[in-house]
């Protein structure tokens, strides 16, 4: 078991790896470092960050603050939420001579009163940085080894599956959490997703031209320690079971892009990769399935003795996203559509089906090429068994909870963004008597 202060561990990791790094002159062939001076608030630290990059270390920090005001459902009013993350990516080939190996640490500090928990009462949530308990702990702590020119890789450590599985890059601008982890999965036992990651192993395969991929993960069934919800812990307790997930996908626009990293570390990239991400479109079509090894009590069904039947939670998803058109004939300004349908057994959760659809526009105005506008609609179908339980309690429920969102992320500088946000939630919490909720506010985002 471990429970270190996350920031101290990250600083210690930086010091250790920096000490192991060879002198810059002896490092591997130099590549262009990210433009820290212009892309981050704190700059290049007099060249230190670029030198560390050449040695194999990438350091980054970011802060997000959501300030939203709710009108409807349980309680009118506003709340603020903060999310601070510290990141360290280490190229172990440069540092230690381990061919095609990467290590990654990411700590999250999340605080603030929850807007959804205190105000809106949505089953799906309203902000993707809201957490049930304020915490400061490790979110990523893993090592990945690549084989066959990184066409096959194995990752082991503390790993959140939402960093690679069921992702839609074009939906990432939206604040609503259901565009990340599908809500029917998020409401299950305890998946390894933000901000509660488990220990596990992930394997990934890429085709030779990088168009096709397949990946799977085997995770601890219950992340961290339920008795200590603020701690970081690796704890394989009896009854936790395991969680497995697999995904197969096709990305036709990625043909030949062998220079892209295959690890899920989220740090600033080289200018070459940044240019590809900016000027290249998106295309992704994927199918995935997941299943828990342990069993949980059914909401309705009982055995001959009247005890709840114990069932395994399981489900899957289909997703697609595709860049449709360029705007004004300019590369980097485009319109991308996305959609995802997810499903689960619904034996022990409030939702059993989910649909996400939307549009993202990059560079909506020629004068603002780095802005993005996104509009999305998501529907979470209420599980029949959950509705039956509510009916027994005298609560009339709707067939689904719906959420509409419109947002504009204005990149005021490369390191500072302001993102006004509007959301409208129908039947928050599922009850027909609940007032529809309207949320207005903004996200502030800083990269240090």
245-262 pLDDT, tens digit each? 999 999 998 877 777 788
Task: Kindly tell me if the per-residue pLDDT of 21 is higher than 80.
Answer: no
**pLDDT digit string (tens) for 148-205?**
989 999 999 999 999 999 999 999 999 999 999 999 999 998 899 999 999 999 999 9
pLDDT: which is higher, 398 or 3? 398
- Minimum mean pLDDT range among 21-25, 111-115, 352-356: 21-25
**214 pLDDT band (50/70/90 cuts)?**
very high
Give the pLDDT of residue 8: 40
Compute the C-alpha angle 101/220/354, nearest 5°.
100
- Listed in sequence order, the DSSP H helices in 227-327 are 271-279
- Listed in sequence order, the DSSP H helices in 140-248 are 183-186
For the segment 59-68, the average pLDDT, to the nearest whole number, is 97
Structural contact between residues 427 and 396, judged by C-beta atoms closer than 8 angstroms: no
Cα separation, 115 vs 127, whole angstroms: 8
For the segment 235-239, the average pLDDT, to the nearest whole number, is 79
Give the pLDDT of residue 28: 39
Structural contact between residues 159 and 193, judged by C-beta atoms closer than 8 angstroms: no
Task: Kindly tell me if the per-residue pLDDT of 328 is higher than 90.
Answer: no
Phi, psi of 161 (to 5 degrees): -65, -25
The half-sphere exposure of 446 on its side-chain side, counting CA atoms within 13 A, is 11
Task: Kindly tell me if the per-residue pLDDT of 137 is higher than 60.
Answer: yes
Ordered by where they begin, the domains of the chain are: 62-87+109-131+148-447 (2.40.160.180)
For the record, the structure tokens of 366 come out as: 């020629």
Cα separation, 35 vs 194, whole angstroms: 29
Cα separation, 79 vs 197, whole angstroms: 25
Q: Is 239 exposed, middle or buried (0-12, 13-18, 19+ CB in 10 A)?
A: exposed
Structural contact between residues 171 and 338, judged by C-beta atoms closer than 8 angstroms: yes
**pLDDT digit string (tens) for 73-131?**
778 999 999 999 999 999 999 999 999 999 999 999 999 878 999 999 999 999 999 99
| Residue 214 CB neighbours (<10 A) | 15
Question: Helix, strand, or coil here: 369?
Answer: coil
- Residue found under tokens 């009247």: 306
Cα separation, 173 vs 376, whole angstroms: 10
**332 pLDDT band (50/70/90 cuts)?**
confident
Instruction: Report which of 187, 204, 215, 186 is spatially closest to residue 288, judged by C-alpha positions.
Output: 215
Average pLDDT over all residues of the chain: 90
Q: Which segments of 15-117 are extended strands (E)?
A: 57-71, 77-91, 101-111
pTM, entire model: 0.90
For the segment 16-36, the average pLDDT, to the nearest whole number, is 56
DSSP string for residues in 220-237: ESS-S-TTSTTS------
Cα separation, 327 vs 369, whole angstroms: 10
Q: Is 79 exposed, middle or buried (0-12, 13-18, 19+ CB in 10 A)?
A: buried
For the segment 317-332, the average pLDDT, to the nearest whole number, is 92
Give the pLDDT of residue 30: 56
**pLDDT digit string (tens) for 253-310?**
887 777 778 899 999 888 888 777 777 889 999 999 999 999 999 999 999 999 999 9
Cα separation, 220 vs 228, whole angstroms: 17
Give the pLDDT of residue 32: 84
Cα separation, 114 vs 224, whole angstroms: 21
Q: Is the dihedral of CA 301, 303, 307, 310 positive or negative?
A: negative
For the segment 38-62, the average pLDDT, to the nearest whole number, is 95
pLDDT: which is higher, 228 or 174? 174
> 279: Cβ–Cβ under 8 A, 6 or more apart, which residues?
331, 332
For the record, the structure tokens of 337 come out as: 């559509």
Q: How far is CA 340 from CA 81, 91, 179, 297, 307, in A?
A: 27, 34, 9, 28, 36
**18 pLDDT band (50/70/90 cuts)?**
very low
> 272: Cβ–Cβ under 8 A, 6 or more apart, which residues?
32, 259
């Amino acid at each position: 078991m471990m429970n270190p202060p996350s920031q101290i561990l990250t600083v210690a990791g930086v010091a250790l790896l920096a000490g192991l790094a060879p002198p810059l002159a002896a490092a591997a062939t130099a590549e262009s470092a990210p433009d820290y001076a212009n892309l981050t608030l704190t700059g290049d630290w007099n060249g230190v960050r670029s030198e560390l990059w050449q040695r194999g270390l990438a350091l980054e920090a970011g802060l997000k603050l959501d300030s939203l005001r709710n009108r409807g459902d349980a309680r009118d009013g506003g709340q603020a939420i903060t999310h601070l993350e510290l990141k360290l990516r280490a190229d172990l080939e440069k540092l230690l001579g381990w061919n095609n190996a990467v290590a990654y640490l990411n700590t999250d500090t999340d605080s603030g009163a929850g807007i959804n928990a205190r105000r809106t009462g949505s089953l799906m949530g309203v902000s993707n940085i809201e957490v049930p308990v304020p915490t400061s702990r490790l979110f990523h702590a893993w090592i990945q080894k690549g084989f066959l020119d990184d066409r096959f890789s194995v990752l082991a450590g503390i790993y959140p599956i939402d960093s690679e599985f069921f992702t839609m890059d074009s939906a990432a601008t939206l604040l609503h959490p259901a565009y990340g982890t599908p809500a029917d999965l998020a409401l299950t036992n305890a998946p390894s997703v933000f901000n509660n990651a488990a220990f596990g192993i992930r394997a990934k395969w890429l085709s030779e031209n990088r168009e096709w991929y397949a990946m799977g993960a085997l995770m601890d069934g219950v992340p961290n320690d339920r008795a200590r919800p603020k701690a970081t812990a690796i704890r394989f307790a009896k009854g936790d079971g395991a969680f497995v997930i697999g995904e197969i996908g096709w990305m036709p626009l990625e043909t030949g892009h062998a220079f892209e990293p295959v690890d899920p570390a989220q740090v600033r990239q080289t200018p070459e990769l940044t240019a590809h991400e900016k000027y290249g479109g998106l295309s992704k079509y994927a199918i995935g399935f997941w299943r828990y090894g342990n069993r949980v009590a059914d909401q309705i069904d009982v055995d001959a003795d009247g005890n709840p039947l114990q069932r395994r939670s399981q489900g899957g998803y289909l997703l697609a996203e595709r860049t449709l058109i360029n705007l004004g004939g300019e590369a980097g300004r485009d319109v991308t559509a996305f959609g995802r349908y997810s499903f689960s057994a619904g034996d022990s959760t409030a939702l059993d089906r989910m649909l996400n659809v939307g549009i993202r526009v990059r560079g909506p105005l020629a004068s603002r090429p780095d802005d993005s506008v996104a509009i999305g609609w998501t529907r979470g179908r209420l599980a029949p068994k959950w509705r039956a339980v509510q009916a027994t309690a005298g609560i009339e429920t709707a067939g689904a909870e719906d959420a509409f969102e419109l947002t504009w992320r204005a990149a005021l500088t490369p390191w500072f963004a302001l993102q006004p946000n509007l959301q409208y939630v129908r039947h928050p919490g599922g009850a027909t008597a609940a007032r529809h909720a309207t949320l207005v506010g903004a996200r502030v985002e800083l990269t240090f």
